[in-house]
Amino acid sequence: MQQNVPDFTALLRSAERSAVHLEMRDSYMADPLFDAWREGRDVELPEEYRQWQELVGETTARGVTLRRVRIVSEPVTDYIRWEHSLTARHNIAAGEIVRWLPRRLSSDLALPGNDLWSIDDERVLFHWFTGDGEWAGHEVNEDHATVKMVVASVEALWDRAIPHEEFVV
């Protein structure tokens, strides 16, 4: 069920200090760019990828720190290997700071149950996926206790995670 969900672009544009994306799946929905990568074809980034880069650039130009932490199983899946290969030219080039955390190093940390975006440590947009990685919905949560738990979890993950430039897949 989707409730209380603003347009994502508006949500990110509302960030004043920080936006953090937590990803915990080893694969996500089908992506033609991923298929091309698996086939060894180098293709241009599609328009929606360029739109994301513009939004990130606009957001970071306003002084907002935009971070992404990905928790991954090892050995990594082909999907994660593809994401890693794309991260420097897509996410980092746009202004994101990206870190990777092998799942085995997160065993003693409390984790939220779903992927999410934390905006200004004040609200959380939880994302839901089906078992095979297809989109299932999302919800904004501004409950103080929930946001506090998410912020503490994300910071613990971030502190332990490996910067993109040092993470080898």
- Per-residue pLDDT tens for 104-159? 999 999 999 999 999 999 999 999 999 989 999 999 999 999 999 999 999 999 99
What b/e sequence results for 16-26 when a residue is b if at least 16 CB atoms lie within 10 Å of its CB, and e otherwise?
Answer: eebbbbbbbbb
- Per-residue pLDDT tens for 39-77? 999 888 899 999 999 999 999 999 999 999 999 999 999
Q: How far apart, in whole angstroms, are the C-alpha atoms of residue 100 and residue 116?
A: 15
Sheet strands side by side (includes 65-72): 135-141, 123-129, 115-119, 18-23, 65-72, 97-102, 162-163
Residue 20: which H helix or E strand, with range? strand 18-23
Q: Cα–Cα distances in Å, from 40 out to 29, 37, 97, 101, 158?
A: 19, 5, 27, 27, 32
Q: What is the largest CA-CA distance in the chain?
A: 46
Q: Would you state the pLDDT for residue 1?
A: 46
What are the sequence ranges of the domains in the chain? 8-110+122-166
CATH architecture of 8-110+122-166: 2-Layer Sandwich (3.30)
